[in-house]
C-alpha cells in the first residue's frame, strides 16, 4: 500500500530534502537508484525528483526495507542533484564525449564478472561480440540467465548518468533520424571530431551500447545484417526503393531515396527509423559508406533488364546486343556481369518493356519509329482486315501488301509489338496474328513446353534431347534452353546431365543402363581403375542378371571405351580412351 507524503507540513524543517526547482520534473526512474531504494520511494508514492522536495530523511528511513545504507545512498544522490551533475542543459551539442565518459564510468562500477559479460556481449574486448550461449558456456550459466544479467547491466549503465544520459541518447537518435543516417563506428568517430576523446573500448562497443540504451538510435556497429525473411512492412519499404534504384542503376544517397519515398507516399506513413531498419535487414539492397555521414544505396545485384533498360533510355536509337553490352560496361563497369551476345538476346522480353524492334536491334517504346498517335489506327485497320479475311495474317504480309498508309513507316517487329498490347489479338508466333474471338491457341512458352516434352518421353532427358523435342514446335536457342531448365520449378536434375519432372520418384534402373551417354559420362568421371563390378555398384544394380547384361551391351557399344579383357566380369577394367597414359601406368 502506497504512503503518499505531504511535504507542506515539513517544508521548513532543516533535515528536509531540498531539490532545485529546475530539475523537479525529472523522473526518478531515470536516476541511479538501487532496486531497494527505488522500491521504497515508489511505495511512498514518489515519481519525480520534485516529489522528493521537502520530504524528511527520517520519513524515508521509517519505511519498511529502508536502512542506513539506503539512506546514505539517497543523501549521496541528492548531493549529486544539488551539484548539478545531472543537469543536461550544460551539455552542448550531441554530448558524445559525455556519453562515452559516463559509459566508461558506469562499466567501471560493475562487478568484474558481470562487467566481463557485458564487454563480451558488446565486443568491448576488441573481439567480435559473443552470443548469449557462448557467454553462458564460459560462465556456467544458461543462455536465458545471461540475457537477464546483461539486460540489468544495460539499466545500470543507463541510470548511472541520470536524465543527462537519457537526454544525450535522445539527441543522438534525433540527429541520426533527421539526417537519415545510421550510427556506425566511423560516424561516431567523425562526430567526435579531431578533439573528441575516445573511450576505453572500441568505437563499435559504444555504438552497440547506445543502440541498446535507446531503441530509436539506428545502430549499425557491423554494417548491414540481412535477414532471410523480411516482415511485411520491411518488404513494403524495400520494394519501392528497389524500383527507384532500377530506374537509376547507380547508387543513390540514402537521404535522397527517403525524400523520394515521402514525396510519393509509398509506402504510406514512412518513418526514418523503420526505413533504416528495413535497409539494414535487406539482402537485395547494399548500403555503402564512401563518407560516414553520406551513405549510398545500390542494388545488390543488377538484373539484366535493369542495366539494359538504363542503356537504352540514354540512346536515341535501338541498339544491337553487342552495342548494349559495350555501353553498359562504360556506364557501370564491373556492375555488369559477363554475358554473351546470344545470352543477352535470349534474356530480353517485351514484358520487361524491352522490344526487338528490328532483326537484331532492341529498344524501348520511345524507339518505335511509328508515332504513338496512330497506333490505334494500326490496330483498328488490322482488326478489320482479319474480320474481312477470317484467317490469321502475319505482320510480314500486312506490310508487304502496302494497302495501309502506315506500312512504309514501320517494320514487322514494331507492328507485332503494337498488336500484342491489344487484347483483341492473339499472337500465334512467327509474327502471325489472329482474333481472340476465334478461340485459336496462343503459342506456348518454352517454360510450359519443357514439362510436356518430359512427360511425353516418360523418362529423364538431357538438355540436348529436350532441345531437339522443343525445336519440333518452336525456334529455341541452346543457351536459352539450358538456363530455363536449370531454373524451372517443375524440373529436377537426376544426375549426369539428365533432367526429369520433380514429382517423379526413382527412375527405373533399366533406363540408366541402356543410356550410352550416361554410361560413358560415369566411366569418364571415374578414376582410372574402374571395373565393371565397380560400375554396377555405382548404379546400385546386381553384378549378374538382366540389368548387368544390358549395361555390358551398352559399354561395348561405346567407341571411346575399351575393356580389358574383352569379356563381362566383375574385375573387367573399363578404360576411357581420353585418359592419360600416366594414369593408366599407375594401374600396372
User: Where are the domains positioned within the chain?
Assistant: 7-86, 90-213, 232-299, 304-366, 368-438, 446-506, 510-585
- What is the band of 123 on the pLDDT scale with cuts at 50, 70, 90? very high
SS3 assignment, position 189:
helix
Confidence of residue 12 (pLDDT cuts 50, 70, 90): low
Query: Measuring CA to CA, which residue among 275, 81, 54 is closest to residue 177?
Result: 275
Which residues are 252's β-sheet partners?
297
- As a whole number, mean pLDDT of residues 168-191 equals 95
d(CA 398, CA 412): 8
For residue 181, name the pLDDT band (cuts at 50, 70, 90). Answer: very high
What is the SS3 assignment for 249?
coil
**Predicted confidence band of residue 588 (pLDDT cuts 50, 70, 90):** very low
Q: What is the mean pLDDT of residues 337-353?
A: 84
Confidence of residue 441 (pLDDT cuts 50, 70, 90): low
How much is the average pLDDT of 534-557?
87
Residues present in the chain in total: 588
Residues 24-57 as b/e (b if ≥16 CB within 10 A, e otherwise) read eebebebbbbeeebbbbbeebebebbbbbbbbbe
pLDDT digits (tens, 9 = 90+) for 54-92: 888 888 888 988 899 988 989 888 998 888 877 777 777
What is the DSSP secondary structure assignment for residue 501, as one 8-state letter? E
**584 — pLDDT class (breaks 50, 70, 90):** very low
Given this model, what pLDDT does residue 490 score?
85
What DSSP character marks residue 461? Answer: E
pLDDT-based confidence at 325, cuts 50/70/90? very high
Q: Do 368-438 and 232-299 have the same topology in CATH? A: yes
Of 559 and 281, which is predicted with more confidence? 281
Low-confidence winner among 416-430, 442-456, 486-500 (lowest mean pLDDT):
442-456
Q: What integer pLDDT is reported at residue 212 of this predicted model?
A: 95
Say which CATH topology domain 368-438 has: Arc Repressor Mutant, subunit A (1.10.10)
pLDDT, mean of residues 10-33:
80
In angstroms, the CA 164 to CA 172 distance is 12
d(CA 281, CA 447): 33
Over range 124-141, report the average pLDDT. 92
The packing angle between helices 546-556 and 532-539, to 10°, is 120
Question: Is the confidence at residue 473, as pLDDT, over 50?
Answer: yes
Kindly state the average pLDDT of the residues 407-428: 91
Backbone angles phi, psi at 203, to 5 degrees: -55, -35
Average pLDDT, the chain: 86
7-86 maps to which CATH number? Answer: 1.10.150.20
Task: Give the CATH class of 90-213.
Answer: mainly alpha
- According to CATH, the topology of domain 232-299 is Arc Repressor Mutant, subunit A (1.10.10)
Q: Residue 474's pLDDT is what?
A: 57
Judge whether 366 and 417 are in contact, CB under 8 Å: no
Which pLDDT belongs to residue 9? 45
Average pLDDT estimate for 366-379: 93
Average pLDDT over residues 379-401: 92
Whether the per-residue pLDDT at 586 is higher than 50: the answer is no
Strand pairing report for 498-501 and 296-299: unpaired
581 has a pLDDT exceeding 60: no
State residue 478's pLDDT score.
65
Q: Which helix (H) or strand (E) holds 537?
A: helix 532-539
What are 494-526's pLDDT values in tens digits? Answer: 776 788 888 887 777 777 788 888 888 888 888
Q: Is the pLDDT reported for residue 303 higher than 70?
A: yes
- Predicted confidence at residue 575, as pLDDT, reads 83
Alpha-helix residue ranges (DSSP H) falling in 179-303: 185-192, 203-213, 232-246, 254-264, 272-281
- Percent of the chain at pLDDT > 70 equals 92
pLDDT of residue 587: 42
Mean pLDDT of 110-126: 93
- CATH fold, domain 446-506, is Arc Repressor Mutant, subunit A (1.10.10)
**Comparison of pLDDT for 582 and 425, the residue scoring more:** 425
Is pTM beyond 0.85? Reply is no
pLDDT band at 489; cut points 50, 70, 90: confident
Under 8 Å between Cβ of 219 and 183: yes
pLDDT of residue 1: 44
Amino acid at each position: 500500500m502506497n504512503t503518499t507524503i505531504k511535504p507542506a507540513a515539513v517544508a521548513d524543517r532543516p533535515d528536509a530534502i531540498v531539490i532545485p526547482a529546475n530539475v523537479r520534473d525529472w523522473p526518478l526512474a531515470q536516476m541511479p537508484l538501487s532496486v531497494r531504494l527505488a522500491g521504497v520511494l515508489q511505495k511512498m508514492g514518489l515519481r519525480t525528483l520534485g516529489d522528493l522536495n521537502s520530504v524528511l530523511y527520517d520519513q524515508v528511513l521509517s519505511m519498511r526495507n529502508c536502512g542506513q545504507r539506503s539512506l546514505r545512498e539517497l543523501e549521496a544522490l541528492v548531493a549529486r542533484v544539488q551539484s548539478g551533475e545531472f543537469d543536461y542543459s550544460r551539455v552542448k551539442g550531441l554530448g558524445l564525449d559525455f556519453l562515452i565518459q559516463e559509459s566508461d564510468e558506469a562499466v567501471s562500477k560493475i562487478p568484474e564478472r558481470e562487467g566481463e559479460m557485458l564487454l563480451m556481449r558488446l565486443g568491448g574486448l576488441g573481439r567480435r561480440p559473443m552470443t548469449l550461449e557462448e557467454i553462458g558456456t564460459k560462465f556456467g550459466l544458461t543462455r536465458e540467465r545471461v540475457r537477464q544479467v546483461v539486460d540489468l547491466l544495460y539499466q545500470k549503465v543507463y541510470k548511472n548518468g541520470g536524465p543527462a544520459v537519457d537526454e544525450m541518447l535522445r539527441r543522438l537518435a534525433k540527429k541520426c533520424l533527421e539526417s537519415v543516417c545510421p550510427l556506425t563506428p566511423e560516424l561516431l568517430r567523425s562526430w567526435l571530431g579531431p578533439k573528441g576523446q575516445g573511450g576505453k573500448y572500441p568505437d563499435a562497443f559504444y555504438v552497440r551500447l547506445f543502440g541498446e540504451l535507446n531503441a530509436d538510435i539506428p545502430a549499425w556497429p557491423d554494417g548491414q545484417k540481412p535477414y532471410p525473411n523480411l516482415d511485411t512492412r520491411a518488404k513494403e519499404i524495400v520494394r519501392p526503393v528497389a524500383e527507384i534504384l532500377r530506374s537509376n542503376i547507380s547508387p543513390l544517397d540514402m537521404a535522397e531515396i527517403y525524400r523520394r519515398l515521402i514525396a510519393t507516399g509509398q509506402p504510406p506513413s514512412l518513418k526514418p527509423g523503420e526505413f533504416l531498419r528495413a535497409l539494414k535487414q535487406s539482402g537485395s539492397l547494399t548500403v555503402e559508406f564512401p563518407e560516414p555521414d553520406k551513405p549510398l544505396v545500390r542494388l545488390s545485384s543488377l538484373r539484366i533488364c535493369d542495366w539494359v533498360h538504363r542503356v537504352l533510355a540514354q540512346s536515341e536509337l535501338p541498339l544491337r546486343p553487342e552495342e548494349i553490352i559495350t555501353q553498359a560496361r562504360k556506364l557501370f563497369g564491373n556492375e555488369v556481369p559477363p554475358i554473351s551476345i546470344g545470352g543477352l538476346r535470349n534474356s530480353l522480353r517485351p514484358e520487361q518493356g524491352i522490344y526487338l524492334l528490328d532483326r537484331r536491334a532492341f529498344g524501348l517504346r520511345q524507339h518505335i519509329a511509328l508515332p504513338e498517335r496512330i497506333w490505334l489506327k494500326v490496330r483498328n485497320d488490322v482488326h478489320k482486315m482479319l474480320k474481312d479475311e477470317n484467317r490469321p495474317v502475319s505482320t510480314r504480309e500486312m506490310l508487304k501488301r502496302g494497302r495501309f498508309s502506315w506500312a512504309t513507316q514501320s517494320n514487322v517487329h514494331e507492328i507485332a509489338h503494337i498488336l500484342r498490347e491489344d487484347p483483341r489479338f492473339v499472337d500465334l508466333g512467327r509474327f502471325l496474328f489472329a482474333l481472340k474471338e476465334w478461340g485459336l491457341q496462343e503459342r506456348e512458352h518454352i517454360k510450359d513446353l519443357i514439362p510436356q516434352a518430359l512427360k511425353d518421353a516418360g523418362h529423364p532427358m538431357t538438355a540436348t534431347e529436350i532441345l531437339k523435342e522443343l525445336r519440333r514446335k518452336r525456334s529455341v536457342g541452346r543457351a536459352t534452353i539450358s538456363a530455363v531448365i536449370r531454373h524451372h520449378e517443375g524440373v529436377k536434375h537426376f544426375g549426369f546431365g539428365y533432367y526429369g519432372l520433380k514429382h517423379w520418384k526413382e527412375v527405373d534402373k533399366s533406363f540408366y543402363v541402356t543410356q550410352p551417354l550416361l554410361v560413358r559420362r560415369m566411366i569418364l568421371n571415374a578414376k582410372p581403375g574402374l571395373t565393371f563390378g565397380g560400375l554396377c555398384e555405382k548404379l546400385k544394380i546386381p553384378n549378374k542378371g538382366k540389368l548387368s547384361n544390358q549395361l555390358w551391351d551398352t559399354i561395348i557399344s561405346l567407341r571411346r571405351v575399351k575393356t580389358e579383357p574383352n569379356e563381362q566380369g566383375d574385375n573387367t577394367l573399363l578404360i576411357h580412351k581420353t585418359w592419360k597414359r600416366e594414369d593408366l601406368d599407375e594401374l600396372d
